[in-house]
Homo-oligomer: A and B are copies of this chain.
Amino acid sequence: MDFSGSHILSIDQFNRSDIEKLFSVADSLEPYSSKIKVTRVLEGAILGSMFFEPSTRTRISFGASFNLLGGNVREITEVGSSSLAKGESLIDTAKVLSGYSDIIVMRHPDEGSVQKFAEASRVPVVNGGDGANEHPSQALLDLYTIEKELSQNKKSIDGLRIALVGDLKYGRAVHSLCKILSLYSDITIKLISPEALKLPVKLAEQLTKANIEVIETENLEEGISEVDIIYVTRIQEERFKDKKDAIKYKGLMTLNQSIYTANCEPNTVIMHPLPRDSRNDANELDSDLYENPNLAIFRQADNGVVVRMALFALVLGVENQINKFSKPVNWKINRDL
């Protein structure tokens, strides 16, 4: 893929060399995300941040990433956007709003809507999540985290054994991650979910076609043994037609320290796309894991910043100019209070 000027809509756009390029840029941005240096390379650029569905972490992560490159952010957070409420088509909205931005990130509850918007947009559009469909930056930061965590144990993504736990039916993060793992060799995916929340059949078939070993089970303890990564997800209550159905599946699978100790290989890494549901009736990832050094969930969230910065830098074609516009940080860094 030629990143420069491209929309980033789906994980299907990426091949292995694209991902390597992206991760290499992300690595180079680490001094900026950790505030060793500041860059102003995008000074004067505007990110249109358009969230037609509530979001906190994804919206702030994209916005902060753009600020860290020196750019400004203009935001639409109104769920019932005023223009759409007045009968404006998504195409008109795209034509107009793309005149006010250099790049757009968009989240929308309807599958395919971001692609439709991008077709009409006059600037590149990054998909920040369209319904249960795609959320490519999440899959990319997940894979980036997998690589970073595995490299601590001298392992690489080829040969990965990963357990996906929870709501595999509606979780778009899981869907995108499955697709991206198909680019690698010798992958084993263990799918652990209640029967009703299984990975869509079509997607499971794609995995098999891509020579991924797929093992399905409803047994958490069995599923999390003999893997490198456990990737836990939240029951996506908001995507169920009937909320009562969602409640049935909450709390069925809880990973805590004792289950971990009893079943996992040493240094099995725990991931979660967050937010995790910490209410008593759900609690898919118990808070007694806070002290477990293999709990990578906050490192994973942090990785979102460099991965999103790298996406912006590549799409806007500034990946080789970042250091040229760098400055020292004036303030004291207090990240580890």
Contacts and interface: CB of A to CB of B under 8 A. Distances in A.
Interface SS majority for chain A: loop
A99 B5 contact: no
A46 B64 contact: yes
A259 interface: no
A179 interface: no
Interface stretch (A142-150, A181-189, A216-224, A270-278): A270-278
A92 to B, nearest CB: 6
B56 A123 contact: no
Interface stretch (A20-28, A192-200, A207-215, A328-336): A328-336
Interface stretch (A11-19, A109-117, A164-172, A314-322): A314-322
A42 interface: yes
Nearest to A43: B38
Interface stretch (A75-83, A155-163, A261-269): A75-83
A197 to B, nearest CB: 16
Contact of A332 (B46, B81, B95, B316): B316
Contacts of A45: 331
B95 A5 contact: no
Contacts of A39: 44
A131 interface: no
A157 to B, nearest CB: 24
Interface in A97-133: 97, 99-102, 121-124
Copies in the assembly, this chain: 3
A86 B325 contact: no
Given A95-B298, A331-B317, A74 B83 contact: no
The number of chain A residues touching the other chain, given as a range, is: 35 or more
Nearest to A278: B89
Contacts of A5: 332, 334, 337
Smallest CB-CB A-B distances: 10 pairs: A38-B44, A87-B277, A54-B82, A88-B275, A317-B332, A5-B334, A316-B331, A64-B100, A89-B278, A67-B72
Given A56-B81, A60-B76, A316-B332, 14 more contacts: A4-B332, A44-B70, A57-B96, A60-B74, A64-B100, A67-B72, A86-B237, A87-B279, A89-B278, A92-B278, A93-B275, A95-B301, A123-B335, A318-B330
